[in-house]
Structure 1
Amino acid sequence: MTILARLKRIRLPRFREVVGIALGCAVVALSLNLLLVPAQIAPGGVSGLAVVLYHLFGLPVSVVLLVVNIPLFVLSWFVQGSRFGINTLLGSLLLPLFVELTAGLSPVTGDLLLNGIYGGIVMGIGIGIVFRAHGSTGGTALTAQMLSKYTGFTVGQILLGIDFVVVALAGFVFDAELAMYALIALMVCTRVIDLVQQGLRNAKAAFIISANPRVIAQTIHEELQRGATILDGHGAWSGRELEVLLCVVNSAEITRLKTVISRIDPQAFVIVTDIQEVQGEGFSK
């Protein structure tokens, strides 16, 4: 595909996406300058590498981010195609900009544990906001996607490997204790990113095998204002045909659901499982 053809396929970001990416990058920048950089905590990725190089050679964090991210973006664009688009380029430019603008702010605390935990929380919130705006801060995500294309490893495995190398480098340059704090920040950041992307309203799915599936479905609709789907099943041991009821509810509603089921059919067989994400009527869009 020619460069001109790729340029024509680029989708310009919507205003809401631009605001989200800018806000997320600003929050990430605050996590670096207020919490992580002063404490010498390198939470993996390009940001962690920038922290190490800052304390080792005095290189500004913003410069390292820019110097690493932009070439990676250009290389990824040629290797992977235009799907990286303007949103990724925007994040790759705005993050160094906000890091530079907030570089003069004073650290919040000198406690290493607090820096690690809250640095991870704030960074996770920022990256999560960027992801929800369909953007990216560039860095190791681009590297992982490129390497995944030519190796047998998944993007997640490559990201984990890169983060481990950066944290190990921080342990070698600083000390083992700071590397352990970096691992705390990395784990907290990863979890918070998931929470921001998926939201706090966790959902559960219930598979119900009962002699009265339609009565249970009707009662669920009347008392919980939730829908249900009837699936065709076949008993492996009995050989008889049966109907399996599938119902998705919020975590707070699962007790009420089980109460309804046991009231109608105490012998019902119920499987409840966690759902990572759900979209549609009655849930997030």
Structure 2
Amino acid sequence: MKRIWKHLVRKYNFLGIEKAETASSTRARYELAKHLIELRITAISYFRDFCLILFGIFSASFGVKGFLLTNKFIDGGATGISLLTNAVTGIPLWIMLISINIPFILLGSKIVGREFAIKTAMTISVLALVIATVEFPNVTDDKLLVAIFGGFFLGAGIGLSVRGGAVIDGTEVLAIYLSRKFGTTIGDIIGIINIIIFSVAAYFLSIEIALYSMITYLSASKTLDFVVEGIEEYMGVTIVSSHSEEIAKMIISDMERGITVYSGKRGYGKTGESKETNIIYSVITRLELNKLNTEIKKIDPNAFVVINSVKDTHGGMIKKRRLKHEEI
């Protein structure tokens, strides 16, 4: 009797071990598949960003060297300051692009994120390299065409870079910082900066060049808006997902953004089947939209995401502020 009992105990114990091993193996395969999916999404995202930024660099370089530089036309922002300094002092443009954008890159690392700052630093460095080494033909001497199409190609380049998660012109980062500090709109700050730039251009170059440069700026800004599909400075993102807790944690911890969580119901199917779920709402800058979409796809590729333009925000918390004990 004892032998039979021991045999049964041993048999079922082995079955338990086999079940445990099977469960462990299934879990391991699930984790491996999940990591492979995340790796694939990340690789596709980085490749897309690389292509967008590369096309943006060559488009901006063509606009600058093929149209603006030979006619001493300028644009707004850091690019305009670089072109103006080059026209007045003769310092090579590629040196000015790097020098003027360094403070904005450091500021971007603080207020947007390290990944954005690294992307932007690499983008501006490659832009400077292309401008220094690649020759572009002088397309036309017609000043109006130079102003319009120089701005068009420059604006397209900036827009493509923004869609790739970087910027060619760092003054937008400064505008975001000042808007948070003084409570003004980003558009107003960019406008003030450009008024100063064009006023200086009118004094040192000529009023005619300054007026044509304003046309260049308008052409570039409209093209930029078109390329990024009219994205405003701030974006409101609504996320409906069965993995809402993981997404909320990612936004708060990884992106350091505030969120609002609503209790709601999902309705779908012919019978109107409904299911309770948490709905996440967050406000981010357009520079972070690409990263947010990538991270959401890693967690839940089937998440329902609605993106709206937000003109401005007042009160509340957009960016999470680190507590002193978190910095230790």
Query: Quick check: 1:62 aligned with 2:85?
Result: no
CA 1:79–1:191 in 2, change beyond 3 Å: closer, same or farther? closer
1:112–1:181: 8 Å Cα contact kept in structure 2?
yes
Match of 1:151 in 2: 182
TM-score by length of 2: 0.54
Find 1:192's aligned residue among 214, 218, 223. 223
- Which residue in 2 is equivalent to 1:42? 74
Is residue 111 of structure 2 the alignment partner of residue 111 of structure 1? no
Distance in 1 between residues matched to 2:113 and 2:52, nearest whole Å:
24
Look up the SS of the partner of 2:121 in the other structure: helix
Provide the rounded CA distance (Å) in 2 between the counterparts of 1:100 and 1:38: 14
- What secondary structure does 1:37 align onto? helix
Pick aligned residue for 1:173 from 178, 189, 204: 204
Instruction: Quote the offset at 1:16 in angstroms.
Output: 1.4
* Contact 1:42/1:166, CA 8 A, preserved across alignment: no
Q: How does 1:1-285 map to 2 (within 5 A)?
A: 14-78=46-110, 81-82=113-114, 84-102=116-134, 104-198=135-229
The CA deviation at 1:81 is: 4.3
- The 1:175–1:85 alpha-carbon spacing in structure 2 relative to 1, beyond 3 Å, is closer
Q: Matches of 1:85 and 1:62 in 2, distance apart?
A: 19
Moved more, 125-134 or 176-185: 125-134
- Where 1:64 maps in the other structure, the secondary structure is helix
Query: Highest Rg: 1 or 2?
Result: 2
Aligned residue-pair number:
190
Return the alpha-carbon distance in structure 2 between the equivalents of residues 159 and 84 of structure 1. Answer: 20
Q: Is the 8 A contact 1:41 1:51 kept in 2?
A: yes
Letter of the 2:153 counterpart: V
Amino acid at match of 2:56: G
**Unaligned segments of structure 1, at least 5 residues:** 1-10, 200-275, 278-285
C-alpha change, 1:51 and 1:143, in structure 2 (3 Å) is same
Corresponding residue for residue 254 of structure 1: none
TM-score (norm 1): 0.61
Counterpart AA for 1:148: S
Q: Give the Cα separation in 1 of the matches to 2:115 and 2:191.
A: 23
Structure 2: runs of 5+ lacking an equivalent = 1-41, 231-307, 310-328
- Aligned partner of 2:68: which letter? L
2:73·2:213 contact (CA, 8 Å) conserved in 1? Answer: yes
Q: Quick check: which one's helix share is greater?
A: 2
Amino acid paired to 1:133:
G
Q: Name the residue aligned to 1:268.
A: none
Partner of 1:280: none
Aligned position for 2:28: none
